[in-house]
Amino acid sequence: MINKTEIKKQEETEKEITIIDLPGVGAATAEKLEAAGYNNLMGLAVASPGEIVEASGVGESTARKIIQAARASLSMGFESGEDILKKRANIMKIKTNSSNLNTLLGGGFETGAITECFGEYGSGKTQIAHVLTVMLQKQDPDAIAVFIDTENTFRPERIIELAKGAGLDPHKVLRNIRVARAYNSDHQMLLAEKATDLITKNKLNVKLVVIDSLTAHFRAEFIGRGTLAERQQKLNKHMHTLLRLADSNNLCVYVTNQVMARPDVFFGDPTEAIGGHIVAHSSTFRIYLRKGKKGSRVAKLVDSPNLPDAACAFTVTTDGLIDF
């Protein structure tokens, strides 16, 4: 009988070199690395020796060799600006039904990046998450959306309404959404790591990963100043997993984040996103959402690598989002 690793090896020899071909990596180590979410050479090449040691149990010097070999095999040299431009041509921009919001984001929610939406309760973060899972399928009917739900806010009934609003078959849309409840921050981190399995093992065309909410568990579990450093460390690791997920699979990561009141701010907006610099700096695009006039929602782009800071308004309706 041929075991799984052998089949994998066979498949892989037809392609290029893979994890198992690296020096110091036997079948057992390869399996452990894969179980820890290292499914390709890129993942190993950008990992730290400590991460590899933790994931696979190999010694530190072996971990270094593995990383070096992964790096060497990837020809991770410098690319010309033109190559990057070509790569960016593959980026998909997931459009909502509010053209204001799409324009604010330079056309839509980009794949290959993390977009964070922060704002007070009821500002529309979860609604945007639902809209994206549906509208993704308007653009690509075979695309899969993954919804990591930490607050039990995913509502299939809402998906049905939005799908009808977008003129799509609601049941087909629901079939193309994979939902997982995360019961605590460790579980959430594990689910993010396992999301790659859907792509590599289950061969699903995942184009969107939602985490609603990114920070709620972390906020609830690490209370008080003493635990702040630990919380930030874990969040940092989580954000790196998400960045890797977005970048190596050219998919859109959309995360929601709450805000807290800052008692020391007397002028301007006294709210601040949870997660501090770690979340802020790891997110590629950041949107601040607030309630506006007449039930509208105001979205402000506060951070983006290539777009001007700007704002727009939209309204949440049964059918989706519409410009205000």
* Interface contacts to ligand GTP, rule CB under 6 A: 119, 121-127, 158, 258, 316-318
How many Cβ atoms from other residues are within 10 Å of residue 196's Cβ? 21
Q: Measured from the CB of residue 127, what is the shortest distance to ligand GTP in angstroms? A: 4
| 119 HSE (CA, 13 A, CB side) | 22
200 membership: H or E segment, kind and range? helix 185-200
* 209-268: contacts with Mg ion (CB under 5 A): none
Q: Nearer to ligand GTP by C-beta: 244 or 297?
A: 297
Phi, psi of 128 (to 5 degrees): -60, -40
32 binds, among Mg ion, ligand GTP, none (CB under 5 to 8 A by kind): none
**Residue entry with tokens 């009988």:** 1
Cβ-contact 144, 198 below 8 angstroms:
yes
122 is in the binding site of which of ligand GTP, Mg ion, none (Cβ under 5 to 8 A by kind)? ligand GTP
Least distance in angstroms from the C-beta of 279 to ligand GTP: 15
From the list ligand GTP, Mg ion, none, which binds 318 (C-beta under 5 to 8 Å, kind-based)?
Answer: ligand GTP
How far apart CA 174 and CA 156 sit, in angstroms, is 7
Written as one letter, the residue type at 241 is T
Contact 135, 97 (CB under 8 A): yes
Answer yes or no: are the C-beta atoms of 286 and 231 closer than 8 Å. no
Nearer to Mg ion, 126 or 185 (CB): 126
Minimal CB distance residue for Mg ion = 126
Which of the 8 DSSP states describes residue 202? S
Q: Which is nearer to ligand GTP, 152 or 306 (CB)?
A: 152
Nearer to ligand GTP, 67 or 321 (CB): 321
CA distances from 251 to 86, 147, 161, 223, 269 (A): 17, 13, 25, 33, 33
Closer residue to ligand GTP (CB): 38 or 288: 288
Binding piece for Mg ion, criterion CB under 5 A, among 126-134, 178-186, 241-249, 287-295: 126-134
**126 in contact with Mg ion (CB under 5 A):** yes
Q: Give the residues lining the site for Mg ion (CB under 5 A).
A: 125-126
